[in-house]
Amino acid sequence: MAETTNESFRQMSPAEFFYRNKEIAGFTSASRAMYQAVREFFENSLDATEVHGILPRVTVQISKEDPNNPDFFTITVEDNGIGIPSTVIPDAFGRVLFSSKYKLRQTRGMYGLGAKMAILYGQQNTGKPFEIFSSTPSSKKVYYYKLMIRMDKNEPLILEEGEWPKSSGWHGTIVKLTLEGEWSKRTKDYISVYLKRTAIIAPYADIIFISPSIEGEGKEPEITLYRRVTTKLPAPPKETKPHPIGVDLEMLKMMIAERPSANMKDFLMRSFQRVGEKKAEEILEKAKIDPRRRASTLTEKELESLYKAIKDTKFIAPSSESLSPIGEDLIKIGLKEVLQAEFVDAVTRKPKSYGGHPFIVEAGIAYGGKLLENLDEIAKDSLKGQQGPYVALLRYANKIPLLFDEKADVIWSIVNSEEFSWKTTYKLEQTDVVAVLVHVASTKVPYKGVGKESIAPVEELRKEIEAAVQEVARRLRVYLTKKRKKQEAQEKLRLFMKYIPEIAQNLAYFVTDGKELREASKSLERELLEMAKRKVRAQLEQPEELTHIVPVALPAAEQEGSIEDPSTSEEEEE
């Protein structure tokens, strides 16, 4: 009997799948969607500039352009990047899972999803198309497209296109998206915090943000500007081949499909990093595969033994060329510029790896000055629940600020662990506030969940984060100890100066016969003052660990008002 069913079947396009599951990409509410859309375009702009050695200048504007639809917001993002070749524009913005970033190197984007999710979100609620202008540096024209995404087919629907000759040397991209959003305090805070935290780690960028004007409230657009304060860019990431340990069986099959006619020895040597002739032979011998075999002829069983042989072989750790850390100088410049702190420092750790994936951890620290007033809203909020010393965490993965799920992050658990005692080990006082920045750069950041907002406690990474934060915390302690010693010494000097005239007068009484009392007293005063200064200066110049302020040995005065022994004064008790 023939099988019957009432079920109907169809295939879902990637565009439809991601639109239905838009929370995967962060589009959970009207407010979050605004933030997420800004992020997606902004990050594309940074990838199109700094990764290619261009000092970024990115303008983000949110405006209300439709008086009939007060909830419609238009997001315009303009950059001076490498642009997009005209023939590729429709696919780059009209096809989910279409990207130039499916390469092994550290960029902000990597999924081929971001811009399209924002566009799908926008068009579904507003029915309005997406617009783009773009020009590459070598192109003589500027290209324009107005398009929508055909969700059922996962392809662009071009509504209008145009091109103009280029009169200036302009290159870059301007995108314009209208979506149904919400300009609440929350939306504003998230976007502002995101941009501010980006400005901290990208002091080489000009970032301009223009917020919407709210007619009802009579509010004019606000302009926030983060000016470039250095022309130094982080070294761009280089594309690398995968490391054998980071590859799984499926990936191995895909790689073979790319080089089907290569012999196995060549295949291994050309497809992977850290595999030379000897290593390739070693692997193939373990897998009992003839090095001359054509890659495409491998049976399923042979593929499995190849995979196993790779796992059983030792390799040099993966190369870190694919990574682009921010660097100690830029972190320090950014922290100083944006937070206006009194003390900043930073450390970039050596590259390490986990499971065949290279990573670099960086940490920065900021203390004092105008730190508290310049901290962003999210950081300030996080301080409220603490008891002091207060630690504001600035987390980043591949240069993207992580604003959500702070407490789920391994960084948070390290910085807030019992063993990490800011008070006893690092000498912070109960009321002190520090900002701690941690950046994890990797070709595969081990995120905890699909939201990609918190980092999982992979042991190799945990150790590096801990070591990095310990290092910057130690440097802060050195600074604070010196600073406190200096304050104590100055206080001592002040005290000495207060009493020296009186001591000098008394001493003069003993050493003169009473006639030149005044002169003797003045000269003694000068000498004592010099002595005190020398002593204090000498103590300040001693290495930090050795410095210990001891009282200047002054002759005891028998008279009333004798000098107070500084060693017992209150200041010394600290």
Ligand X SMILES: Nc1ncnc2c1ncn2[C@@H]1O[C@H](COP(=O)(O)OP(=O)(O)OP(=O)(O)O)[C@@H](O)[C@H]1O
| Least CB distance to Mg ion at residue 114 (A) | 3
| Least CB distance to ligand X at residue 439 (A) | 18
CA gap 145, 130 in Å, rounded: 8
CA gap 539, 559 in Å, rounded: 29
What order of strands is seen across the sheet that includes strand 206-210?
A: 155-165, 141-150, 130-135, 172-180, 72-79, 57-63, 206-210, 223-226
Element (DSSP H or E) covering residue 390: strand 390-397
515, 517, 518, 553, 554 from 508: Cα distances, Å: 10, 6, 8, 18, 14
395 in the Ramachandran plot: left (φ > 0), alpha (ψ -120 to 50) or beta?
beta
Tokens of 154: 């996962």
| Least CB distance to Mg ion at residue 136 (A) | 18
CB closer to ligand X out of 146 and 485: 146
Work out what residue 79 binds among ligand X, Mg ion, none; the CB cut-off runs from 5 to 8 Å by kind: ligand X
Omega before 260 within 30 of 0, i.e. cis: no
CA gap 72, 179 in Å, rounded: 6
For residue 111, say whether it is annotated as part of any ligand binding site: yes
CB closer to ligand X out of 191 and 245: 191
Positions 111 through 130 that interact with Mg ion (CB under 5 A): 114
With contacts defined by CB under 6 A, name the span among 94-102, 158-166, 305-313, 331-339 that binds ligand X. 94-102
CB closer to ligand X out of 81 and 129: 81
CA gap 360, 456 in Å, rounded: 15
For residue 114, say whether it is annotated as part of any ligand binding site: yes
With contacts defined by CB under 6 A, name the span among 96-104, 285-293, 422-430, 494-502 that binds ligand X. 96-104
With contacts defined by CB under 5 A, name the span among 80-88, 106-114, 141-149, 247-255 that binds Mg ion. 106-114
When CB distances to ligand X are compared, the closest residue is 109
Work out what residue 136 binds among Mg ion, ligand X, none; the CB cut-off runs from 5 to 8 Å by kind: none
CB closer to ligand X out of 96 and 435: 96
CB closer to ligand X out of 106 and 173: 173
CB closer to ligand X out of 37 and 415: 37
Residue 122 near ligand X by CB under 6 A: no
For residue 112, say whether it is annotated as part of any ligand binding site: yes
CA gap 185, 358 in Å, rounded: 39
CA gap 323, 240 in Å, rounded: 10
Q: Quick check: 82 and 136 in contact, CB under 8 A?
A: yes
- Long-range CB contacts (< 8 A, 24+ apart) of 507-512? 507/555, 507/557
CB closer to Mg ion out of 14 and 369: 14
Residue 44 near ligand X by CB under 6 A: yes
The residue within the footprint of ligand X, chosen from 31, 61, 135, 173 (CB under 6 A), is 173
Sorted by sequence, the CB contacts under 8 Å of residue 259 that are 6+ apart come out as 266, 267, 270, 271, 295
CB closer to Mg ion out of 114 and 358: 114
CB closer to ligand X out of 40 and 337: 40
Torsion angles phi and psi, residue 13, rounded to 5? -80, 155
With contacts defined by CB under 6 A, name the span among 5-13, 109-117, 148-156, 518-526 that binds ligand X. 109-117
CB closer to ligand X out of 451 and 551: 451
With contacts defined by CB under 6 A, name the span among 92-100, 395-403, 509-517, 545-553 that binds ligand X. 92-100
Structure-token match 């870059």, residue found? 172
Residue 112 near ligand X by CB under 6 A: yes
Beta bridge mates, 76? 61, 176
Structure-token match 């004007």, residue found? 213
| Least CB distance to ligand X at residue 261 (A) | 30
For residue 308, say whether it is annotated as part of any ligand binding site: no
* Angle, helix 328-339 to helix 185-201, in steps of 10 degrees: 140
For residue 110, say whether it is annotated as part of any ligand binding site: yes
Work out what residue 48 binds among ligand X, Mg ion, none; the CB cut-off runs from 5 to 8 Å by kind: ligand X
Tokens of 327: 């660097």
CB closer to ligand X out of 112 and 237: 112
Q: How many helices (H) and strands (E) does the chain have?
A: 15, 14
**Residue 537's closest CA among 549, 554, 524, 526?**
549
Residue 109 near Mg ion by CB under 5 A: yes
Classify residue 406 by its DSSP letter: G
Positions 498 through 527 that interact with Mg ion (CB under 5 A): none
Residue 510 burial (CB count, 10 A): 10
With contacts defined by CB under 6 A, name the span among 37-45, 198-206, 238-246, 248-256 that binds ligand X. 37-45
Secondary structure of residue 554 in the 3-state scheme: coil
Residue 156 near ligand X by CB under 6 A: no
Mark 9-48 with x for binding to Mg ion (rule: CB under 5 A) and - for no binding.
-----------------------------------x----
Residue 84 near ligand X by CB under 6 A: yes
The residue within the footprint of ligand X, chosen from 40, 131, 376, 525 (CB under 6 A), is 40
Residue 447 near ligand X by CB under 6 A: no
CA gap 535, 528 in Å, rounded: 11
**Residue 259's closest CA among 241, 245, 276?**
241
Tell me whether strands 433-442 and 357-367 are parallel, antiparallel or unpaired.
antiparallel
With contacts defined by CB under 6 A, name the span among 114-122, 154-162, 191-199, 337-345 that binds ligand X. 114-122
Q: Quick check: 307 and 298 in contact, CB under 8 A?
A: no
With contacts defined by CB under 6 A, name the span among 15-23, 79-87, 340-348, 561-569 that binds ligand X. 79-87
For residue 311, say whether it is annotated as part of any ligand binding site: no
For residue 452, say whether it is annotated as part of any ligand binding site: yes
The residue within the footprint of ligand X, chosen from 17, 69, 101, 470 (CB under 6 A), is 101
Q: Which residues bind ligand X (CB under 6 A)?
A: 40, 44-45, 48, 79, 81-84, 92, 99-101, 109-116, 173
Going by the annotation, the residues of the binding site are 44, 79, 100-101, 109-116, 452
Q: Which residues bind Mg ion (CB under 5 A)?
A: 44, 109, 114
Binding residues for ATP: 44, 79, 100-101, 109-116, 452
